[in-house]
Amino acid sequence: MKVAKNDPLKIFVPFVNERMAGDLFSKNPNLRDVDVNLIDNRGRSAGLPELYNEIIEKHLGEDAWLFFVHEDFEVQGELFDTKNLAIEAIYGTFGVKLKGHVPVSFGRHKCSEKDGTSVLQVGLPVTSPTWVETLDCVAVMVHTQLVRDRPGLRFDEVLTFDLYAEDLCINAQENFGIPVLVLPVEFQHYSKGFVTERYWRGVQYLGEKYPNVGVPGSCSFIGGKSQELEDHFTYDIPANRKKRHTREARKV
């Protein structure tokens, strides 16, 4: 197992809400000693995979941990130590895996509205790196050596804002045999994400891209075999409820 001893950790935060990014990152005392890079995406409105790939290409020459996070992600405790982490893995802070036929999410955190109201506790707590099938897009971390050695392991730019982390995880596992893990960190996600049409288009795209895969995602099963998994379990998250009702109504 290759371990990166003292490689620096760099956080990259594309933002459209400057105040939020400033409050949650620049002024965050838990990130005082960390290299935080805020990337203004207001003018360009580029898809996050595109931005992340650009960052990867830019940093390929050095050995570092690249931590891609959303602007509404707040670290509320001590950040994990990267000293003994295996290089050949993809890390995140919230992910899902199947236990039997049931998806179980790992990485306990608070999930709230943008203004911090309606706080929900989500996911099972983890105390050490815990393997999962897919990660949520909110936070993804890779080592430059991992992506340097594998030019095919990049974010899919067809997916602009949703499911790119899930795609990266499936790609890493299916084509490179790279494990995916959730790291223990205390955080709050200021987004009770609602599932959009764009998300379902993404699910459809991934179904076609990985016809022989069926894995649990944060909001639905993903891959060509997701229908088989849905025979045993139906996601019942609030974000999906409206969508499901609409679908059922349409069917009738």
Residues that bind another protein (CB under 8 A): 1, 86, 88-89, 99, 128-129, 131, 173-179, 181, 252
Looking at beta carbons only, is 110 or 150 nearer to another protein? 150
Looking at beta carbons only, is 55 or 180 nearer to another protein? 180
Looking at beta carbons only, is 43 or 152 nearer to another protein? 152
Looking at beta carbons only, is 21 or 89 nearer to another protein? 89
Q: Are the C-beta atoms of 182 and 107 separated by less than 8 Å?
A: yes
With a CB cutoff of 8 Å and minimum separation 6, the contacts of 174 are 210, 213
CB of 190 to another protein, least distance (A): 31
Q: Are the C-beta atoms of 79 and 11 separated by less than 8 Å?
A: no
Name the amino acid, one letter, at 221. Answer: F
CB of 4 to another protein, least distance (A): 13
Pairing type for strands 73-75 and 90-92 reads unpaired
Looking at beta carbons only, is 13 or 140 nearer to another protein? 140
Region of 100 (left: φ > 0; alpha: ψ -120 to 50; beta: rest) is: left
With a CB cutoff of 8 Å and minimum separation 6, the contacts of 23 are none
> Residue 27 carries which DSSP code?
T
What is the C-alpha separation between 17 and 202, in angstroms, rounded? Answer: 24
CB of 131 to another protein, least distance (A): 4
CB of 102 to another protein, least distance (A): 13
Looking at beta carbons only, is 131 or 194 nearer to another protein? 131
Greatest CA separation found in the chain?
59
Choose among 65, 77, 70, 80: nearest CA to 29: 77
CB of 237 to another protein, least distance (A): 24
What is the C-alpha separation between 48 and 68, in angstroms, rounded? Answer: 9
CB of 40 to another protein, least distance (A): 36
With a CB cutoff of 8 Å and minimum separation 6, the contacts of 245 are none
